[in-house]
């Protein structure tokens, strides 16, 4: 199963723009993709483990192995097209 991870912070403007888009995509892919959000302020160790240096950072994992990564905000259509290439 795929896991889609959103690394964000509450103070990050682009992260806040992506928040409702992330929620919509989460509903759209329910049962197909597992979604996880990671607040880099609250869980800096996990962000460091993934080498996150800027936010928002989106990571797609398949069976626990990272297969793709994107940085920055993007339109919903771009996000779903990217995700669809792995589903």
Q: What are the residue boundaries of the structural domains of the chain, listed by start?
A: 2-84
- Most distant CA pair in the chain: distance in Å? 31
pTM of the full predicted structure?
0.94
CA distance 52 to 26: 21
Q: Which two tokens stand for residue 30?
A: 């329910």
Architecture of domain 2-84: 3-Layer(aba) Sandwich (3.40)
* SS3 category, 60: strand
Active site residues: 12, 15
Q: How many CB atoms lie within 10 A of CB 52?
A: 20
For residue range 22-59, list pLDDT tens digits in order: 999 999 999 999 999 999 999 999 999 999 999 999 99
Nearest to 77 by CA among 28, 34, 7, 32: 28
């Amino acid at each position: 199963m795929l896991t889609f991870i959103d690394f964000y912070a509450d103070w990050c403007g682009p992260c806040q723009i992506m928040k409702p888009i992330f929620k919509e995509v989460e509903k759209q892919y329910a049962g197909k993709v597992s979604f996880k959000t990671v607040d880099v302020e609250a869980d800096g160790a996990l962000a460091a483990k993934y080498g996150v240096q800027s936010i928002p950072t989106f990571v797609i994992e398949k069976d626990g192995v990272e297969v793709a990564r994107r940085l920055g905000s993007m339109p919903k259509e771009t996000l779903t097209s990217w995700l669809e290439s792995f589903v």
